Chain A
């Protein structure tokens, strides 16, 4: 079946503009995660959705970052008033319900460049 997809694959934006990144998880996966990967660094957790539970937003770096997910479908990560330090690859992952041993399946990422 189809894997996790993300769009756009690349985004170049000017400082101060808002951007919206999209993630389509694997069908049936109730959990969805967003991570940020800065150049040469590991993955930084941003936010986690699990079904209809309140999302875990503990990783969002500032109030300029927000994310939404409707049910168990697509998620969007929005960055308002982008800054140059927001330049990174944004990775989305999805997994099965928390009640089971799980494996996170990652999308190819969106490379965001803020000029």
Chain B
């Protein structure tokens, strides 16, 4: 069965600092991987996705993620965070036409 692990429940970074959110997955085939962001009181918004090809994918809001098959990871990165990046971030794995399996999320707090 597929699963997603986000080992960090809560991360605090200073505004302007770099960010890396971890995601590890378990999936029987080549996974389709996603990162979603959920701002307070909002629905989920897709940041980026990986289906195939280049293992470094660029997303919206300056985020990127790198797929590493050997490590079963799909970590999310941003070189310089902004206060508006404070939100809950969810990693998900799935396949075309199937339900997504989500991680439990990482809550990001930005301090001035």
Contact = CB atoms under 8 A, between A and B. Distances in A.
Contact of B49 (A33, A48, A103): A103
B26 interface: no
A79 interface: no
A31 B96 CA distance: 11
A45 B101 contact: yes
A90 B43 CA distance: 10
Interface stretch (A12-20, A63-71, A80-88, A106-114): A106-114
A106 B96 contact: no
A91 B44 contact: yes
A102 B96 contact: yes
B102 A43 contact: yes
A99 B96 CA distance: 7
Contacts of B92: 43
Interface string A17-51: 00000000000000101010000011101001010
Interface in A51-103: 56, 59, 91, 93, 97-103
Contacts of A4: 43
B46 interface: yes
Contacts, number: 55
Interface bracket on A: 20 to 34
A43 B104 CA distance: 7
Contacts of B102: 35, 42-43
Nearest to B9: A40
A31 B98 CA distance: 9
A41 B9 CA distance: 10
B97 A99 contact: yes
A102 B32 CA distance: 10
Contacts of A59: 99
Interface of B: 32, 34, 36, 41-46, 49, 51, 90, 92, 96-105
Given A41-B104, A48-B99, A59-B99, 7 more contacts: A42-B90, A42-B102, A42-B103, A43-B44, A101-B51, A103-B34, A108-B43
Interface of A: 4, 31, 33, 35, 41-43, 45, 48, 50, 56, 59, 91, 93, 97-109
